[in-house]
Every structure is written in C-alpha cells, then in structure tokens.
C-alpha cells in the first residue's frame, strides 16, 4: 500500500488505512447476497426531494 504524505493545514487528524492481509480471502466475493438484493429493491421505491 502506498503512503501519501500531506501537510495537515486544517489541523484535523489524518486517517491511515492499513490493509489487513487476513481479510484478503473476502476480496472479490459478495457477502450476504440476500441482504443486497433486498436493499436494492427498497432503493427502487425511494424518492429523494428536489432542492
């Protein structure tokens, strides 16, 4: 993983993501396909307000 060095002008904490190699077995797999299908069905009926 590449590290990007930046100056923190806004005085906010920087977030560093560390890749955990033990989770590599889940890469590219769809976990919980039933829940994803249910969520997609619910999002079809959502109407967002126009501003």
pLDDT in tens, 25-38: 888 899 999 999 99
What is the Cα–Cα distance from 13 to 26, expressed in whole angstroms?
Answer: 29
Give residue 32's pLDDT: 95
Mean pLDDT in order along the chain per 10 residues (51 residues):
62 78 88 94 88 81
pTM over 0.75: no
CA distances, 24 to each of 11, 27, 39 (Å): 33, 5, 25
Give residue 47's pLDDT: 85
What is the Cα–Cα distance from 44 to 35, expressed in whole angstroms?
Answer: 14
What is the Cα–Cα distance from 31 to 34, expressed in whole angstroms?
Answer: 9
């Amino acid at each position: 993983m590449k590290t990007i060095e930046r100056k923190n002008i806004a005085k906010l904490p920087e977030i560093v993501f560390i890749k955990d190699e033990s989770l590599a077995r889940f890469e590219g797999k769809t976990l919980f396909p039933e829940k994803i299908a249910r969520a997609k069905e619910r999002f079809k009926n959502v109407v967002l307000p126009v501003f």
